[in-house]
A = this chain, B = another copy of it.
Amino acid sequence: MQVLVVEDEKRLAQALKQILTEQKYMVDVVHDGNDGLDYALSGIYDVIILDIMIPYRDGFQVAYELRKNKIDTPILMLTAKDTVPDKVSGLNSGADDYMTKPFAPEELLARIKALTRRRGEVMLDETDFGDFNFNASTCELSKDGKSVHLNFKEAEILKLLLANRDTIISKEDIITKVWGYDSDAGSNNVEAYVSFLRRKLNFIQSTTEIKSIKKMGYRLEQKND
């Protein structure tokens, strides 16, 4: 779950980052409207926390531009002002929610949760592929009677593979989605986890495999015998 924080007050930005990081969000921080727009246009974020009073391009403009560019990432506007006109223009410009400073970390978290929940992007709990079944809500990978538990990163990677079942997903993508945008994980990290996953697939005697395509990435494949 990736969050972009656009906030010029360095201290607050840092605090936000810490709060969010503690809750396992992957956080990127930028300090002005131009960078905010640039980053947000990438479309990789699940939520954007956007201060209104920021340099170069204010929060309203950023939100407006994003919507104009068909980026529908939920936006949580942040401001010191608590006047009704502001609320209205925040919501008109495309924001999804609105919060006034100062705020309790818990309130922030609750609102972010509400915003991400509202999109219904939750995975189906159970997915079948090839000859195995993966239950995302329990992290159980199973075939016939046998089953194994996947740990957090294994599960995240398998989810990605399942979500991209018909295309090749690159290690780069896996890294940014599982480790985060600016992590310093290398391709060997992915390789190690893919190896763990393969061992577990093997353990439940699945014939489905994670195929590696050199220089391109991975893809789930069902051996047809």
Give Cα distance in the complex from A184 to B19, angstroms.
12
Number of copies: 2
A188 on the B face (CB < 8 A): no
The reply to whether B110 and A215 form a contact with Cβ atoms under 8 Å apart is: no
Report chain B residues within 8 Å CB of A107. 181-182
Chain A, residues 151-167, CB within 8 Å of chain B (1/0): the string is: 11000000000000011
A111 on the B face (CB < 8 A): yes
A149-B213, A216-B152 are known contacts. Are A181 and B110 too (CB-CB below 8 A)? yes
Interface size class of A (residues with CB under 8 A): 35 or more
Instruction: Select from chain B the residue with minimum beta-carbon distance to A120.
Output: B70
Give Cα distance in the complex from A98 to B215, angstroms.
30
Report chain B residues within 8 Å CB of A23. 172
The reply to whether A42 and B111 form a contact with Cβ atoms under 8 Å apart is: yes
A139 on the B face (CB < 8 A): yes
Report chain B residues within 8 Å CB of A69. 118
The reply to whether B42 and A118 form a contact with Cβ atoms under 8 Å apart is: no
Minimum Cβ distance to chain B for residue A69 (Å): 8
The reply to whether B104 and A138 form a contact with Cβ atoms under 8 Å apart is: no
Report chain B residues within 8 Å CB of A183. 106
A→B interface (CB under 8 Å): 23-24, 34, 38, 41-44, 69-70, 84, 97-98, 104, 106-107, 109-111, 113-114, 117-118, 125, 137-139, 149, 151-152, 166-168, 172, 176, 181-184, 213-216, 219
